[in-house]
Structure 1
Amino acid sequence: MLISQQRLERPTAGVRPFALTALRHPMVSSLLTDHRALLADLLDGLGSPLHIVLPEIFEENVVGLRRAFAEAGATADILFAKKANKADCYVRSAAALGVGIDAASTPELVKALAGGVPGHRIGISGPEKDDTLHTLAVQHGCLVAVDSISELRRLAATARLARRQATVLLRSRTAGQPASRFGMSAAEREAAVGLCVELADAVSLRGFSFHLNGYSTAERATAANEMIEHCLDARRRGSRSAELVDIGGGLPVRYVEPRLWDEFLEQNEPAHYHAAKDFNDFYPYGGQPAAQAVGAIMAHPVDGGESLARKAERTGVRFVVEPGRALLDQAGFTLYRVQQVDDRRDVAGYAIVTVAGSSFSLSEQWFNSDYLPDPLLMSAQPTADETFPACVAGSTCLESDLVTWRKIGFPRPVRRGDHLVYLNTAGYQMDSNESPFHDAALPLKAVVRLGEGTAPPRWRLDGI
């Protein structure tokens, strides 16, 4: 099931100033507490940084998300957003559980198929997809979200050449985000519905999708209601199979306790960061869990009081959802080895800890932000407790290569050879922005499953 907030370990109040202690799944706690030697051996043998991926937790999250939709009275097909993590193990878990994949490129589609996910459970998203992706999607019966009239015409031509019928969603701009670069305007959507009727031998219109920025449940529910109306209109115009509304992803994840998050936002200022870095936007690390967000979306009143879920049931509409981060909640963490410590406390008031690796393996920098949950310090030779303020830098020659800009209050001095653990990094952090800069090899992923009873954990390299 989705990680119950009652099961997660909670940080002790007042541990240290500006602490943002990450919530932990019991399996993660077990690995860090009972199997620290194994993690140290893996890091030493496979290199720093090293990503630990945990498909068992991904599988729990799938079960929990299904339950959340069922309890909300809604029917939904889950497509795991492949872009959130490149690890093959999650695709294999999705295939085993009958979960689909949301792919936005030919390589992502190929990996989904190779991992055992059948084409009819794969959705193809992304703007203005190329002909290669169209061809493969048509051959395997994937559901293609079409972004424009020109793409619709190209896809129909591809389907006719293959003597098949493409199944499509029309991606539409919402009333709330009319300036989005994704999807069709109202006039374009109207024309596209008519074109689907004309091209019925090559195209089957199955419904509508949309793109939203942000995590507002009310805005997502309002947009979904718009798409239900588009389905009803398409049926009246001859597309009888318009029954799907794709609500996208955007289900939030809770990384830290809301109380800590609120306190952090109240006290946050540039002085808390290396070089007085001023960030303008953060992921809502203390937000509501995904299951609660699903309930809020489905219960949202539309058309004067009826819930979104009830309207969908009444009109024969089924939802499609594309969670990435929400299915990866707690399903992985990242290990770094400390390479050097530049103790500037006497001059600057904090140290700079340099790790073997770079911020390319913790991709929040891609969003011009900082990954805020505190890293854990694992010391080979623990020293006496002493608050040790430090930021964390990568080992590249870039001035901007900070893994953590924020000054962390480590509970004791950090030493060369220590290990840092960044928790809950599977969703978008591990590999969205990784690069072989300086000719460095891309970090490896170790797939870990806990053993039965007293058996030790089992591990293998991802993809093998």
Structure 2
Amino acid sequence: MAVTPAPLLVLPALPDPATDAVVASGLLAELTYAFGGPFHFLLPDAFDANLHAMQEALAAAGVDGFVYFAKKANKAAIFAERAAALGAGVDVASAGELSEALGHGVRGEHLVVTGPAKDSLLLRLAVQHGALVAIDALDELDSVITIALSGRVRPARVLLRVLPPVQPHSRFGMTEAELATAVDRCVGAGDALRMEGFSFHLSGYALQPRADLAARLTDLCLTARVKGLEASRISIGGGLPISYTDADTWHAFLQTQRPAHYHAGKTFQTSDFYPYHSPLAGADALAALLATRPEKTGTTLASVLRDAGLELLLEPGRALLDRAGATIFTIQGVKDRDGYQLLTVDGTSLSLSEQWFSSEYLPDPQLIPKDPAAPSGTFPASVGAATCLESDMLTWRKITFPRRPRPGDLLLYPNTAGYQMDSNESPFHDLPLPPKVVVDQTDRPRPRWRLDRHST
């Protein structure tokens, strides 16, 4: 008895005119020839627009706020440069990231240093340059106080990170007892330390828990002020989602996806997928968060912050990088399988980091044929990497391409600037890391490009 093949799934990315313009310009074929391998292109205008939208959301809610770009989301220098130019800061978690940010124009006082168990070099650099340090443990606070007392150049600036009650097993933050001790040590440090407030690291994208915890931090600030501490700011971290596709397509995908849709019958848990659609994304999610009513307050988070005279700090990464870049591979081999093709491209899935978290980067890649006159139709294919690992697949899912993929054709993976490009990159097999190209589309019939200035 014949087996009816599973209808193919599609997950097209939302329209992105800037990326479409780069494709239409013909620039990608030239860059492919120039680099001889995969590359990423960056669209800094999108970063600028996302940052402006968040700053406007804060202003519209009447909230004094400051945005830090979470540098871990993309190593490219251009985004630190744009943050510096537009009056934003950068969130760093290593001495390398701190040095990169300073080297690309970010002022020391516009840096916030996060991450657990920071090493002594990072803490010393942070104090010397006037960066704000999110203190994650009591021994870390002691180290910062010691550095500040020994240098006496300027007071160390700190936030105390709170262990979220709704995520008690998180490895980030201090318990209530530890926080009480930390506050007392801040008081005891005197002029060597400026305790500017509290922060938290909260996993997930739900707005209500984030608003509730922000309100709790407000209460902690008011209590700390009674003891003579500044306590004028709170940081809510990141956690602002973006949307890669529309709601109907995403929900249909979740309801119908099954092993037959993937090469080798691969299985995925839908709970492991990033939420590729969010009804509120980016600056809209921030506006909704500010309008959320924290429990037991009877008013909005924006009002809670205003009434307490607090500045809201946030550290978005992915949300600032929405539509700020894409990734290009060249097809170098094609095999026919039972009802679909298996493509091999000139790179690895380490340049699509989602593949290394028991998940899949789901937005459909776009085929850019070498011969635009190639016959059209419906041609399903999965995409593998140029390595000797069976599991090294860029796309396990059988993508529906409108033309038959052939060697020399390009594949464009859309909207990859947020975490996908480089968080897991590796020169495996001595393959070069894909370079990053900054594309300038301003007032020109054809875009210009240059290599990003990241030092490594």
Q: TM-score, normalised by structure 1?
A: 0.93
> Which of 166, 172, 176 is equivalent to 1:186?
176
Gaps (5+ residues) in structure 2?
1-6
After superposing the two structures, state which structure 1 stretch, 407-416 or 69-78, moved more: 69-78
Equivalent position of 2:277 in the other structure = 286
- Does residue 424 of the first structure (1) align with residue 409 of the second (2)? no
Listed as ranges, the matches of 1:101-112 within 5 Å are: 101-112=90-101
8 Å CA contact 1:174–1:226 kept in 2: the answer is: no
> Which of 390, 396, 404 is equivalent to 1:413?
404
Partner SS, residue 371 of structure 1: coil
Listed as ranges, the matches of 1:150-169 within 5 Å are: 150-163=139-152, 164-169=154-159
- Counterparts in 2 of 1:453 and 1:357: CA distance versus 1, 3 Å: closer
8 Å CA contact 2:8–2:398 kept in 1: the answer is: no
List per-residue Cα deviations over 1:158-196 (Å, max 9, x = no partner): 111111310000011111111100110111111111111
The CA deviation at 1:451 is 4.0
Q: TM-score, normalised by structure 2?
A: 0.95
Question: Given residue 321 of structure 1, which amino acid in structure 2 is its aligned partner?
Answer: L
- Does residue 132 of the first structure (1) align with residue 124 of the second (2)? no
Partners of 2:36 and 2:327 lie apart in 1 by 11
- CA RMSD of superposed structures (Å): 1.2
The CA deviation at 1:405 is 1.1
8 Å CA contact 1:49–1:361 kept in 2: the answer is: no
Partners of 1:414 and 1:131 lie apart in 2 by 52
Partners of 2:355 and 2:177 lie apart in 1 by 38
> Which of 441, 458, 464 is equivalent to 2:432?
441
Partners of 2:11 and 2:21 lie apart in 1 by 20
- Counterparts in 2 of 1:402 and 1:157: CA distance versus 1, 3 Å: same
The CA deviation at 1:453 is 4.5
Partners of 1:349 and 1:191 lie apart in 2 by 65
Partners of 1:232 and 1:189 lie apart in 2 by 14
8 Å CA contact 1:24–1:330 kept in 2: the answer is: no
Listed as ranges, the matches of 1:217-366 within 5 Å are: 217-239=207-229, 241-280=230-269, 281-287=272-278, 288-302=280-294, 303-344=296-337, 348-366=338-356
Partner SS, residue 341 of structure 1: strand
- Does residue 450 of the first structure (1) align with residue 441 of the second (2)? yes
Partner SS, residue 279 of structure 1: coil
Listed as ranges, the matches of 1:377-392 within 5 Å are: 377-382=367-372, 383-392=374-383
Partners of 1:200 and 1:343 lie apart in 2 by 71
Equivalent position of 2:451 in the other structure = 461
Partner SS, residue 146 of structure 2: helix
After superposing the two structures, state which structure 1 stretch, 334-343 or 299-308, moved more: 299-308
Partners of 1:282 and 1:68 lie apart in 2 by 28
The CA deviation at 1:441 is 1.2
Partners of 2:404 and 2:444 lie apart in 1 by 36
List per-residue Cα deviations over 1:327-348 (Å, max 9, x = no partner): 100000000000101111xxx3
Question: Given residue 396 of structure 1, which amino acid in structure 2 is its aligned partner?
Answer: T
The CA deviation at 1:270 is 2.0
- Counterparts in 2 of 1:44 and 1:17: CA distance versus 1, 3 Å: same
How many correspondences in the alignment?
442
List per-residue Cα deviations over 1:253-295 (Å, max 9, x = no partner): 1110111101111111122112222222111111122122112
List per-residue Cα deviations over 1:217-247 (Å, max 9, x = no partner): 11111111111111111112221x1011101
Question: Given residue 170 of structure 1, which amino acid in structure 2 is its aligned partner?
Answer: L
The CA deviation at 1:304 is 3.8
Partner SS, residue 386 of structure 1: strand
Equivalent position of 1:141 in the other structure = 130
8 Å CA contact 1:376–1:422 kept in 2: the answer is: yes
8 Å CA contact 2:8–2:261 kept in 1: the answer is: no
> Which of 374, 378, 386 is equivalent to 2:364?
374
Gaps (5+ residues) in structure 1?
1-15
- Counterparts in 2 of 1:244 and 1:360: CA distance versus 1, 3 Å: same
Partners of 2:60 and 2:276 lie apart in 1 by 25
Partners of 2:436 and 2:67 lie apart in 1 by 25
Partners of 1:118 and 1:378 lie apart in 2 by 41
List per-residue Cα deviations over 1:90-131 (Å, max 9, x = no partner): 111111111100000000000100000100000000001011
After superposing the two structures, state which structure 1 stretch, 281-290 or 268-277, moved more: 268-277
Partners of 1:219 and 1:270 lie apart in 2 by 34
Equivalent position of 2:193 in the other structure = 203
The CA deviation at 1:349 is 2.3
Equivalent position of 1:69 in the other structure = 58
Identity value in percent: 49
Partners of 1:199 and 1:23 lie apart in 2 by 52
